[in-house]
Structure formats: structure tokens, C-alpha cells
Amino acid sequence: MEKQVSPLTPFENKPPKLSKSKSVAAGIPGVLASLKHSYKNNILSSVYNLSKINRFRGFDCPGCAWPDPDDHRSRFEFCENGAKAVADERTSKKANPKFFSNWSIHELSKKSDHWLNSQGRITNPMVLKPGESHYQPVSWDDAFKIIANEIYQLENPDDCIFYTSGRTSNEAAFLWQLLARWYGTNNLPDCSNMCHESSGVALNESIGIGKGTVKLEDFNKSELIMVIGQNPGTNHPRMLSALSEAKKFGSSIISINPLMETGMIKFKHPQKPLDIIGNGQNISDEHVSIKINGDMALFRGFSKVIVDNNSQNVDFIKNFTNGYEEFLDLVNSTTWEDIVKHSGISKDEIIRLGNIISKSKSTIVCWAMGITQHKNSVDTIQEIVNFQLLGGHVGRDGAGICPVRGHSNVQGDRTVGINHKPSKSFLESLSKNLGIVPPTNNGVDTVGAVKLMSSKSNTIFLSMGGNFASAMSDTLVTSKALSNCKLSVMISTKINRSHLITGNTSLILPCLGRTEKDVTAYGNQFVSVENSMGVVHSSEGHSKPPSKSLKSEVDIVCSIAIELEKLISKPPINWLKLSHNYDYIRNLIEKCLPDFKNYNKRVREKGGFYLPNPPRDNRIFNTKSGKAEFKSNAISSIMSYEDKFTMMTIRSHDQYNTTIYGLNDRYRGISNGRRIIFMNSNDMKKMNLEKNDLVNITSHYFNRKITANKWFVVPYDIPQGNVATYFPESNVLIPLDSVADRSNTPTSKSITVSIDSI
Ligand SMILES: Nc1nc2c(c(=O)[nH]1)N[C@H]1C(S)=C(S)[C@@H](COP(=O)(O)OP(=O)(O)OC[C@H]3O[C@@H](n4cnc5c(=O)[nH]c(N)nc54)[C@H](O)[C@@H]3O)O[C@H]1N2
Ligand SMILES: Nc1nc2c(c(=O)[nH]1)N[C@H]1C(S)=C(S)[C@@H](COP(=O)(O)OP(=O)(O)OC[C@H]3O[C@@H](n4cnc5c(=O)[nH]c(N)nc54)[C@H](O)[C@@H]3O)O[C@H]1N2
Ligand SMILES: [Mo]
């Protein structure tokens, strides 16, 4: 039997088609692109569903965690990429048992991610038995028995890993962590470990909460908004409406990014016909073409200008902060030479921008993966916070700190307990309210999970959504680790590479998507989610599920627990009752987390409710000193030397993380290709490379070298010495040990590479 499956995406034979990158985001092309995608799949169902996105009693858009306008979910807001996410879930194609009997995992592994995803929704629970080449249908009962039996046989609960991807609802996530802790492990790695973990670590230390401090309404009250390391036109398109509205209220916008991303140039509001006809509104007033990872030094430079201009907010600093004197000394002793060297931006330019910035009375700083996925990300984010503290821009209208979250409920999952390093108080609360004895040792994060699975055979990997094999760094090492497991279980909607890179036994458990009706013995159920700004609200699907055999995520978690309860003796939890009526789950969440007071009542109100946020609401900082902390860290950056480049791995316009909707990156002018490397044309000249030449890329990390072959070179407006590739294709090049200090996030945006022409 051939179980040799390739964890890597196949090569592409043809070069991509290249055109000029676009200057305007959304508008008619955006709307048409979303309709085209919907049409290809299932137009009626998609159009019906688009009318339900982000509406009261509708479902939460699975596209991103950007909030809805605060007149709360009455306005029809969706975007091109939200529409694609919905159409992708509503596809009429089905990956049914016949499909799985036709395709061996070996054959499937030769297909592209785009092809795998386009096979449609998984309709039945499937099992891949040891040594077999094909998945076969399995009854739900048998599937749960297999899982319970395998878990029962583990010597140590810490040999079991419960991974979570951030699309999961609060209800399912709470039960998932409860299952793990009731059973006896804190092994709860999640996609956040690869995403905003650096923000959480930095902000917890600096301001006492791992979340941002702005509400959407603050955007219209701000004088200045800085958008750093983020591509909203593609990844948070509804944010462009907020930016464009803020501009109309007089705010200025500065973008800081190695690329001039299209959404940041001009924007046309897809829901406003008049906007669509015009030329589009300019978004950025200023753009800083920073070299990769130059941000920390740039912000030190801005702080230097603020200090030199004497425009600190002295009252705020005195009343609400700690560590100012030390930071001031550090700012004064940091030389311009170092700032310029690490940022790659000239002193004059930093002073010019710093002078504009120091005038702002209310500044919001937004960031995403361009800031969080580097070795010094935690330090960089703390430098951004220092800068905001200098101006007193926390806990004031129109100002604040705004990490823009990715997955639509990644913030909520963390709030309700998906955390490999749970707080003592949360564990105590679980123990007090549920009678369980949760373990107190930390669990593994995503990097830790790979190391655990690599070092020990016979572990178990259970996955609530997501695509761990492709999303994680070091694809070959990660895949080997997954194959070392005795059991892998994927709770999924669509096929992905993690279904092919399996443990000895593998199960696929197909679940309902966001758009679908969830009916239990107790009647229709809804779930809830938390957006990037701390609003918790309901999400209810109304469409018919693609197959009668699907179960909800909640039902799947409870069924695993019920089967396990037959084998091991643990404090009783009425899992069946919880799976029938989600109000009971919310009651439990409320008991364990007092911030969810009156959860069931408030989540039924239009727009939901804000979770308390002490820094934002009252300038209360739950840090050791009780004040917001200036953190004094030495500036650093990754440098690209001579023949080496610094590579960032980014998303195209046609993908949702590892889900590839299509092969185009419309705004950047790329069609029909993903295996490309964006390069500065001067660097290309130096290396005698022409457009669409093929190169091999080798990453260098201490003594380790990893080579990935055959990438098409694309000339692009990117700083010299920097290159960019798309993930997940390039994850093979990111060494497992290359992580951010303190947050352990893979350094997906800072990889040292060399490039060889073929
Ligand atoms: N359509 C769509 N929407 C999505 C997703 C998706 O894949 N598709 N993914 C979701 C998820 S989980 C997340 S986390 C978010 C991700 O949203 P983004 O963070 O916008 O996603 P990336 O493509 O990783 O883009 C990183 C941006 O940072 C810039 N950058 C890279 N390195 C640096 C640097 O050192 N400094 C600065 N200043 N900039 C840098 C890149 O040029 C790029 O513009 O989007 C969410 N929304
Ligand atoms: N090199 C590199 N690597 C990265 C990044 C990067 O920028 N560069 N970004 C990182 C980031 S920010 C993130 S968040 C991670 C993402 O990591 P993951 O969250 O693990 O990956 P996704 O691609 O979002 O997962 C897609 C799969 O989720 C399943 N799915 C979709 N909807 C549902 C649902 O409603 N329920 C369930 N149960 N399953 C569902 C489908 O089967 C689909 O194939 O990747 C990280 N990896
Ligand atoms: Mo993310």
C-alpha cells in the first residue's frame, strides 16, 4: 500500500500573467468578482446568504473579525472577500463517500490546495484505517468510540493535543477547552499562536489586557490613524469603509508597509453606488515604504521627535504610567544612526512625519501580521504602545491601540479559555463551578505541539477546524510530526492537506458551517462570537446544511466527551444537556467568566454587548504596577546582507489562509499563479534575472538550510533586499525554531533566504 503522501503543494508549470497593480480597491470590479465567485458556486443560495451576513439574527461573516458599524448590524455590510468566504461554504459540490472511494490520499496529495478546496463540502464522517490508502465512511457512533478508546489508552493526558482554529464559536470553544481540561491537559494550541500571540503577550505586559482599546466609533473621532503591517483591502475590506468615513470626519491616515497595498491607495465603497461611479477616495495621506521589520526603530524615531518637540502628554504619563524615566533615557540615548540603520528610513523623513504625528490629539494605531510575525514582534508592539502612551492615546475617545484580528472568532476563543497558558483564576473558576480538577502545568502551543508529536510516537492530534499541516511553519517537519501520531481527528467543513497528512488512524468529522441551520432536540440554536473590538453577538445560520449527516461543532465535542465518560472516571458534566440547548453553555461561560453577566439576555439584544475593557473604559491597567507600562527594549531588526534577502510570506487576494479560492491576486496584478516571488527590479538586475524566470529559494537559520524549488520571479515595488512569497506554499521554508521571542510565533514575515536562478 502506498501511504507516501506529499505534504507540499505541487509545482506550477506555467508562469503567472502579470499586469500593473491596481490603484483602487473594491468598486465595480470588487462587486463583480464576488458575484462571479458566488455564481460559479451557487448563486441563489449565495445571494440569499449575503443578505444575512452580519445582520441581526443573521450569521457572523466568516471573513474576518472586523466589527460592524455601531448602529449595530442593521446596515448591510459585506465585502468581496466576505462574499467569497460565504460562497465557498455554500458550494453545491460535495466531497461524499464516493469521492473518497475514487481518490487515494496519495493521489489527493498531488493536487493543489485550490483543487482540494473546490471538491466541495464533506458530507459524511470518514475514517482512514491504519495502512489503508482510502478514507471510508464510518458511523458517528463508531467514530466517537474510536476517539474515546484511543484517548483512554494514552498513558498521559498531555499526550493529547486539542488544536483550535479561530472560526469556532464561543460555545464550541468553551466546551472544547472544558473537554481538554476535564480530561486532564492544557494542550490547547490555536491559530492565534501563529497570528496575534505577540500582540497578546506584549499588550498583557504593557496595559494589562491582551486586546485592543478602541471601538469602531473612535475612528470617526480620531485625528490620525496609522495602519501598519496590514493589507486591509484584501484581508479586512470592511475596514476600508471605516477608514474612508474617518477621513470624511477629518482624520489623516498614514500607512507603513513595505508594499503600497491597493486598498491603502484608493477605495470605492462597494455598497454605495455613488462611490462606485467616481474615481474612488484617496485613503493614505502618507505612505512609509518601510523595509521588512524596520518598524520598531521607526517608532523609536517617532518617540524621539515627540520628546524633542515636547509634545508628550505629561498629565497622562504622570497619572497612568510607570517606567517613563527609563524609557525617556532610552529614547535620548538611542542614536539617529541606529534608528536609520534599523528602519531604513532617513532621519529627515522620520522627523517630517514625527512632526505631523506629534500634533495629533487622538491617534489610533492598527496593525496585523506585518508586525506580529517577526523575532522581535513583542518588543515592536511594546514600542508602539510606548509611543501611544507618550501621547496619552489610551482610554480616550478617538484614540487607542488596535490589533486587527484575523479569524472571525479568534479573540472570542481566547476569551472563553482556548489558551495553552491559562490564568490561575480561570482554572480556579472552572474548578469551583464545574467541580473539575484542571491541570495547572502549561500546555503546548503550535510549535510545542509539533515538538511533542515529533519526539513521541503515539500522541493524538484533535483539530477543531483549521489546517494545521499547511498553516504551521516548517511543513516537512510538521507533517512528519503529524504522521507520528496514533490518531489524528479533523473537525472540518472542506478537504485540506491536514486530511492527507495523517496519524496511524485518521478521522474526518464534517460539521455545519456558519451559514447553516443548527437544530437540536431542543429546537433551533444560535452561537455567539466576539469581534476584534470586544463586541459579543449572536450568529445564526438559516440555510439547509449540505448533508443530513453533518453535526454541529458543539454536538461533536459533547459526543466525544460522552463516549470518553464511559471509559474514564471524571466529575460528571451533563454534556447531553449542553449539546441540546446552547443557553446552558452560555450559562456555564457566565458562571466561569463574570464579564459575561446576563449573557443569554444580552446576546439576544440587537448588536450584542461590549465586554469590559478596563484600559479603554476607565484607564485602569491590571499590570503589576497597576499602571500602563513603558517597556524599555533595545531596538533591533532583521538585516539582509549582501547575497541574502529577507522574505515575508503574505496572502493573495484569492485566499483565506490555507483555503485557496482562486489563483489570482487582482490588486497586485497577478493572475494564474501562486508559486511566485516578488522582487525589487534592481535586485533582479543585479542577479541577471528577468520577469518570470524560475528560481530556487533557500532559507538560512543558524546551521539549517531548507530549499524549495521552482518559483517564478515577479518584479514588484518592494524595498531592495526584501522579497515576498505566498503562504502556505512558502511555509516549507520557515524553520520550526525560527520564532518570535516570548510569544513563540513562527517568524512568517522575517525569513533570511538566498535565491538561485535555475
Ligand atoms: N480575504 C482574506 N481575509 C483574511 C484572511 C485571508 O487569508 N484572506 N486571513 C485572516 C487572518 S487569520 C488574518 S491574521 C488577517 C491577516 O491580515 P494581514 O495581516 O493584512 O495579512 P498578510 O497578508 O499576512 O499581510 C501582512 C501585511 O504586512 C505587510 N508587512 C510584512 N512585513 C512587514 C513589516 O515588517 N513591517 C510592516 N510595516 N509591514 C509588513 C505586508 O506587506 C502585508 O501588507 O486577515 C484575516 N482576513
Ligand atoms: N507562512 C505563514 N503561515 C501562516 C501565516 C502567514 O501569514 N504566513 N498566517 C498564520 C495565521 S495568521 C493563521 S490565523 C493561521 C491559520 O491557520 P488555520 O486556522 O489552521 O487554517 P485555515 O486555513 O484558516 O483553516 C481552513 C480550514 O478550516 C476548516 N473550516 C472552515 N470553516 C469551518 C468551520 O466553520 N468549522 C470547522 N470546524 N472547520 C472549518 C476547513 O476545513 C478549511 O480547510 O495560519 C498561519 N500560518
Ligand atoms: Mo490569523
* Per-residue model confidence as pLDDT tens digits over 395-445: 999 999 999 999 999 999 999 999 999 999 999 999 999 999 999 999 999
Calculated CA dihedral for residues 418, 148, 555, 437, nearest 10 degrees? -40
Q: Over 50: is that where the pLDDT of 72 sits? A: no
Centroid of ligand 3 to alpha carbon of 405 (angstroms): 7
- Give residue 391's pLDDT: 98
Contact 80, 88 (CB under 8 A): no
Digit-coded pLDDT (tens) for 715-746: 999 999 999 999 999 999 999 999 999 999 99
Element (H, E) at 254: strand 252-256
Centroid of ligand 2 to alpha carbon of 298 (angstroms): 31
- Give residue 24's pLDDT: 83
* pLDDT mean across residues, the chain: 93
- Residue of 383, 274, 263 lying closest to 334 (CA atoms): 383
Digit-coded pLDDT (tens) for 455-496: 999 999 999 999 999 999 999 999 999 999 999 999 999 999
Beta strands in 429-531 (DSSP E): 460-464, 487-492, 505-510, 519-520, 523-524, 527-530
Model confidence, pTM = 0.96
Nearest residue by C-alpha to atom 46 in ligand 1: 406
Q: Which residue out of 657, 725, 726 has the highest number of ligand 2 atoms within 8 Å of its CB and is therefore the one to mutate? A: 657
When pLDDT is cut at 50, 70 and 90, the band that residue 268 belongs to is confident
Digit-coded pLDDT (tens) for 199-225: 999 999 999 999 999 999 999 999 999
First to last CA, the chain: 35
Centroid of ligand 2 to alpha carbon of 51 (angstroms): 25
Find out whether the beta carbon of 659 lies less than 6 Å from any atom of ligand 1. no
Find out whether the beta carbon of 295 lies less than 6 Å from any atom of ligand 1. yes
Find out whether the beta carbon of 652 lies less than 6 Å from any atom of ligand 2. no
Which atom of ligand 1 is closest in space to residue 191's alpha carbon? 12
Distance between CA 443 and CA 466 in Å, rounded? 19
Which atom of ligand 1 is closest in space to residue 374's alpha carbon? 35
Nearest residue by C-alpha to atom 18 in ligand 1: 230
735 preceded by a cis bond (ω within 30 of 0): no
Find out whether the beta carbon of 465 lies less than 6 Å from any atom of ligand 2. yes
Domains identified in the chain and CATH numbers: 119-194+416-606 (3.40.50.740), 198-408 (3.40.228.10), 645-757 (2.40.40.20)
When pLDDT is cut at 50, 70 and 90, the band that residue 1 belongs to is very low
Q: Which residue out of 164, 236, 369, 636 has the highest number of ligand 1 atoms within 8 Å of its CB and is therefore the one to mutate? A: 369
- Give residue 29's pLDDT: 61
Quote the percentage of the chain above a pLDDT of 70.
Answer: 93
Nearest residue by C-alpha to atom 13 in ligand 1: 406
Which three cell numbers mark 366?
Answer: 492598527
Contact 254, 353 (CB under 8 A): yes
Pick the range with the lowest mean pLDDT from 233-247, 492-506, 670-684, 731-745. Answer: 233-247
Q: Over 60: is that where the pLDDT of 346 sits? A: yes
Find out whether the beta carbon of 494 lies less than 6 Å from any atom of ligand 1. no
When pLDDT is cut at 50, 70 and 90, the band that residue 75 belongs to is very low
Which atom of ligand 2 is closest in space to residue 122's alpha carbon? 42
Centroid of ligand 2 to alpha carbon of 467 (angstroms): 5
Contact 695, 755 (CB under 8 A): yes
Which three cell numbers mark 543?
Answer: 440555510
- Give residue 592's pLDDT: 98
What stretches of 537-604 show up as alpha helix (H) in DSSP? 553-565, 575-580, 582-592, 599-602
Ligand closest to the CA atom of residue 403? 1
When pLDDT is cut at 50, 70 and 90, the band that residue 67 belongs to is confident
Digit-coded pLDDT (tens) for 583-629: 999 999 999 999 999 999 999 998 899 999 999 999 999 999 999 99
Find out whether the beta carbon of 190 lies less than 6 Å from any atom of ligand 1. no
Centroid of ligand 1 to alpha carbon of 479 (angstroms): 24
Selected residue with higher pLDDT from 59 and 678: 678
- Average pLDDT for residues 146-169, to the nearest whole number? 98
Amino acid at 104: S
Nearest residue by C-alpha to atom 39 in ligand 2: 465
Ligand closest to the CA atom of residue 651? 1
Radius of gyration for the alpha carbons in the chain, expressed in angstroms and rounded: 25
Which three cell numbers mark 544?
Answer: 439547509
Classify residue 721 as left (phi > 0), alpha (psi -120 to 50) or beta.
left
What DSSP line would sit under 83-138, residue for residue?
Answer: HHHHHHHT-S-EE-HHHHHH--HHHHHTS-HHHHHTT-EE-S-EEE-TT-SS-EE-
